[in-house]
Structures are given as structure tokens and as C-alpha cells.
Amino acid sequence: MQNSQSQGVSVRRISVASNPIIAFWQTVVGKKIVMAVTGLVLIGFVIGHVAGNLKIFIGPEAINAYSRFLREVGQPELEYEQVLWIVRSVLLACVALHVTAAVQLSKLSLGARPVDYKEKKNLATNMSAMTMRIGGLFLFGYIVFHVLHLTLGKVGYDPGEFHHLSVYQNVVNAFHHQPIAIFYIIAMGALFLHLDHGIWSMLQTLGFSNRKNQATLKGIGRLIAFLIFAGFISVPVAVMTGVIH
Ligand code: HEM
């Protein structure tokens, strides 16, 4: 997009890319669809992850075997961790696209919005948009910490507490540090808020909602977000209360 001035008149030229994918990305609808589709992939990951985590309640063997399986799946045809790296790459690409689209849409809406904060509906929309942005940023920071913590053992442990592939013991040792367990529970609260609005927003963008089913879809989104929240926090809560030790 370019601005030029001729005889005191401001003219805005819009350059449309010839590549259809870039042209699609340059539209507001395109960015919203990218957010919705990448969001859907990330929700799929989160549901798989929470289901995997719950294996901890079966016992150390179940969750440690699951962690080994994630690395060995596809062998001997594929290399060790090859599938895992493909999944990691897809997730990284989704996070990058999701965040980029969110930042660009925020800029566009902040630039285009007429200042009308008196209207109640506008205020509610602004609040949820703000919650999504701040919450999204917090979750991004959480994920960076989380990978350094439970996957790599680089932060949050006393020396010698973390052992590669001993997921059960790593999780128990991790949440014996109470501030860390509380931080995880707060982060899962942020995830709940993000998904509560995000799932609904995604369904709207993908064209699933109409006047009749709005309330039902909002309820379904909230239920999914709550089940994910409950599943995730059950692990630190179980360690803190001694159910898992
Ligand atoms: C209380 C909540 C959570 C617990 C107890 C937990 C537990 C774990 C554990 C034990 C691992 C390491 C698995 C392994 O090395 O085999 C892991 C990895 C990971 N978790 Fe979580 N997780 C939680 C929440 C989340 C959330 C909410 C997200 C994303 C929004 C997330 C994203 C990831 C990612 C990206 C990895 C790295 C996977 C990899 O590349 O190896 N986790 N988590």
C-alpha cells in the first residue's frame, strides 16, 4: 500500500499481488481464515497433548512409554524423532502464522476503528479483543518457558532433577516447586480464556454459526475450553495434593 499527494489530495494506491496465495493473505478475510485454520490445528494439538498427559494417572510406565512412542513412531522406515520433527515444524509454522495474522489484524482494526467507546457492544468487543491479544502474548511466553522446562529441563529444576525421557519423574519433580505449579495453573486459566473466545471466533470465521445456533456453539466452545483446562490442571494439582508422587 502506498500514499501519494497530488494537488493537496491524498491518494491511496493498493497494490494487489499477482500470486493468489499472497493476494488472499493481504485481505482481512484471508488473515482471519488463516487464524481460524491454524487455531484449529493448534487446538487439535492441545487436545492430543492433554489426552497424552492424562496417562500419568495410569502410572510411570504408561506415560514414559508414550513419550518414547512419540519419538520412535515410524521406525524403522523413518529415522528416530522424524515424525516428531515434522509435527514440531507444522506446529511452529501454525504458531508463526497465527501470531503474524493476529498482529496484522490488530494493527488494521486499531487503525480503522472510529473512536466510539460509548457504545456498549463496541466496549465488549474491545475487551475480548484485548483479552485475546494480551492472553495470546502471555501464552506465547508460557510455551517458550514450558519447552525449556519440561522438554529440555533447562529451567525450573534443581541440578540433577531432570532426566531425558523420564517424563513421570520430571513432571512430579517439576510441580514439587510450588511457584511453578501455580504458574502452570494460572497459564491454563489464560489458555481457557483464549480458547473460550477463540473456538467461538473460529467457528464464526469458518461459517458454522448462524443466529439460531450461536448460543449452542458458544456453549460448546466454552465446554471444550473447560475440559482442556480441567485436564491440564489435574496434573499439577495431583502432584501438589500428593495424588501423584
Ligand atoms: C499442566 C499443563 C501441561 C503439562 C503438565 C505438560 C506436560 C508436558 C510434558 C511432560 C512435555 C514433554 C513431553 C516429552 O518430552 O515427551 C511437554 C511438551 C510440550 N508441551 Fe506441554 N504440558 C502442559 C501444557 C501445555 C500447553 C497448554 C501447551 C500448548 C499450548 C503445551 C505445549 C507443549 C509443547 C509444544 C511441547 C514440546 C513438544 C516437543 O516438541 O517435544 N503444553 N508438555
> pLDDT tens across 200-216, in order?
999 999 999 999 999 99
Q: How far apart are CA 94 and CA 27, in angstroms?
A: 18
User: Chain centroid to CA 79: how far?
Assistant: 28
* Tens digits of residue pLDDT in 59-106: 999 999 999 999 999 999 999 999 999 999 999 999 999 999 999 998
* 145 close to 154: Cβ distance less than 8 angstroms: no
Q: How far apart are CA 187 and CA 38, in angstroms?
A: 20
Q: Is the pTM of this model over 0.85?
A: yes
Domains and CATH numbers, the chain: 2-240 (1.20.1300.10)
Beta carbon of 155 within 6 Å of any ligand 1 atom:
no
Beta carbon of 88 within 6 Å of any ligand 1 atom:
yes
Q: How far apart are CA 245 and CA 175, in angstroms?
A: 10
Q: What letter does residue 201 receive in the DSSP assignment?
A: H
Measured from the Cα of 63, ligand 1's closest atom is: 16
Q: Residue 112: what pLDDT?
A: 67
Instruction: Report CA-CA distances (Å) from 131 to 125, 138, 141, 188, 194.
Output: 10, 10, 15, 14, 8
Q: Is the pLDDT of residue 5 over 70?
A: no
* Mean pLDDT computed over every residue of the chain: 91
Q: Degrees (nearest 5) of the Cα angle 57, 58, 64?
A: 95
Characterize 29-42 residue by residue with b for buried, 16 or more Cβ atoms within 10 angstroms of its Cβ, and e for exposed.
eebbbbbbbbbbbb
Q: How far apart are CA 202 and CA 220, in angstroms?
A: 12
Query: In this structure, are strands 9-13 and 2-6 parallel, antiparallel, or unpaired?
Result: antiparallel
Q: Is the pLDDT of residue 14 over 70?
A: no
Q: Residue 81: what pLDDT?
A: 96
Q: Where would I find the H helices in the chain?
A: 20-25, 28-53, 60-72, 82-112, 120-146, 167-176, 178-205, 214-240
* Tens digits of residue pLDDT in 170-199: 999 999 999 999 999 999 999 999 999 999
Q: Residue 155: what pLDDT?
A: 98
* Tens digits of residue pLDDT in 116-149: 555 555 666 778 888 899 999 999 999 999 999 9
Q: Is the pLDDT of residue 8 over 50?
A: no
Q: What is the 144 CA–ligand 1 centroid distance (Å)?
A: 10
Task: Report residue 225's pLDDT band, with 50, 70 and 90 as the boundaries.
Answer: very high
* 228 close to 47: Cβ distance less than 8 angstroms: yes
Q: Is the pLDDT of residue 7 over 60?
A: no
Q: Residue 82: what pLDDT?
A: 97
Helix (H, G, I), strand (E, B) or coil at 4: strand
**162 vs 16, residue with greater confidence:** 162
Q: What is the best residue among 67, 92, 150, 227 to mutate for testing ligand 1's pocket, by most ligand atoms within 8 Å of CB?
A: 150
Q: How far apart are CA 72 and CA 137, in angstroms?
A: 33
Q: Residue 1: what pLDDT?
A: 43
* 126 close to 136: Cβ distance less than 8 angstroms: no
